[in-house]
Amino acid sequence: MTATPAHDAAVFIGRFQPFHLGHAALLRQALAIAPRCVVVIGSAYQARTPKNPWSWEERAEMFRLALPEADRARLLFLPVRDYYNEQRWTEVVLAGVNRLLAEAGVDSPRIALVGHFKDATSDYLRAFPGWVLHSVDRSGPIDATSLRDAYFGCADTTEAAHSLDATLAALVDQAPPSTLAMLRAWAALPQFETIAGEWRFVKAYHKAWAHSPYPPVFVTVDALVRCSGRVLLIRRAESPGKGLYAMPGGFIEQRETAYQSALRELREETAMNLLDSTMRGALQSARVFDHPDRSQRGRTITHAFYFDLGERELPEVRAGDDAARVEWVPIGLLAAMEDRFHDDHFHILDHFIGLTDGRTPNA
């Protein structure tokens, strides 16, 4: 007689950039204790970056390919965006897991949470007191950051094809054969060199500050300008985030307040040059965004200012400084553009003008 499982489902949370053998060990544990596993894929819907190069769909496929055919149907995938707000993120995960299980015919599910405490970034494992935590020891010194560094670093050579072969051969004890095969195929796609170029920029940027007496903390400003149902956005001309949408902004100057820097960056990047009194009257609110992981450059704190110019005629603008293009984008289009934004700029827009309300894109 087969014993009834103690749990209706196991939950496995991570970014899985990419899926490696450490993840595979935790997945086996999850499937051993429950008939279903809900895989919560974090950092979903973002633009591709060296830290998040693979879409949530590609990461889900890495899971499927690593499993025998019979086990693939036991997986349910829940993509979740970064909210930079633990309470909101937790609420979205709870609601999403319950929805998926209800759709699978499981009401009032008994849930196990499978994971291991790597460092402070693993504190989310304590955010679900209604779930039974199965803490698993780390299976070995496998690190997704080092794996990505090896993968994108192999493009920085005149013998890139040979280097890719050697790199993937050296990673056989880090990732399943199916993941390595997917990485080999992905390296032939145009986005590989794009992300490798961003990776080289970020590495050089970090190297330039490596000998600072203290870990550097950068301070920036951003300006969200709304007018007649549109917001003013630029397309970035340089790395990081080349070609992505962003709000006008940049680094604060030594002899400026954050507000003065925001207006200067707005003028330099968009040539929008309204009267100071007009901008003062349009200022609705300001907020500091300081999540440690919000920027590829490193620890970067930004002061964001929200201006609403009302229903007037759109001011004339033109691209300048670090902007390749400048556009007045209809607010109704923004929710579907989430994967085209630099860093956390979509999140900042969401905070000020409300784009998601916990929904998935296009939902």
First to last CA, the chain: 44
Q: Give the pLDDT confidence of 203-250 residue by residue, as tens digits.
A: 999 999 999 999 999 999 999 999 999 999 999 999 999 999 999 999
Q: What does the DSSP 8-state code read for residue 209? A: T
Range of the domain at 331: 218-353
Q: What is the CATH number of the domain that holds 167?
A: 3.40.50.620
How many CB atoms are located within 10 Å of the residue 52 CB?
21
Tell me: pLDDT of 126 over 80.
Answer: yes
Whole-number pLDDT of residue 120: 67
Please indicate, yes or no, whether residues 236 and 309 belong to a single structural domain of this protein.
Answer: yes
Domain end residue (candidates: 160, 193, 226): 193
The β-bridge relationship of strands 249-251 and 245-246 is: unpaired
Please indicate, yes or no, whether residues 164 and 37 belong to a single structural domain of this protein.
Answer: yes
CB 88 within 8 A of CB 48: no
Whole-number pLDDT of residue 1: 40
Q: Give the pLDDT confidence of 318-331 residue by residue, as tens digits.
A: 998 789 999 999 99
Q: Give the pLDDT confidence of 91-101 residue by residue, as tens digits.
A: 999 999 999 99
Residue identified by tokens 């951003």 is: 222
Please indicate, yes or no, whether residues 173 and 259 belong to a single structural domain of this protein.
Answer: no
Q: Give the pLDDT confidence of 60-73 residue by residue, as tens digits.
A: 999 999 999 999 99
- Residues composing the chain: 363
Please indicate, yes or no, whether residues 22 and 81 belong to a single structural domain of this protein.
Answer: yes
How many structural domains does the chain have? 2
Taking the C-alpha atoms of residue 293 and residue 296, their distance in angstroms, rounded to an integer, is: 7
Confidence label for 125 from pLDDT (cuts 50, 70 and 90): confident
Q: Give the pLDDT confidence of 284-339 residue by residue, as tens digits.
A: 999 999 999 999 999 999 999 999 999 999 999 999 878 999 999 999 999 999 99
Q: What is the CATH number of the domain that holds 316?
A: 3.90.79.10
Sort 286 into a burial class: Cβ within 10 Å, 0-12 / 13-18 / 19+. middle
Please indicate, yes or no, whether residues 65 and 158 belong to a single structural domain of this protein.
Answer: yes
Please indicate, yes or no, whether residues 17 and 108 belong to a single structural domain of this protein.
Answer: yes
- Of residues 74 and 141, more confidently modeled: 74
How many CB atoms are located within 10 Å of the residue 250 CB?
19
Amino acid at 122: S
Note the pTM of the prediction, 2 decimals: 0.91
Confidence label for 362 from pLDDT (cuts 50, 70 and 90): very low
Please indicate, yes or no, whether residues 160 and 272 belong to a single structural domain of this protein.
Answer: no
Residue 312 lies in a domain: yes
Whole-number pLDDT of residue 363: 39
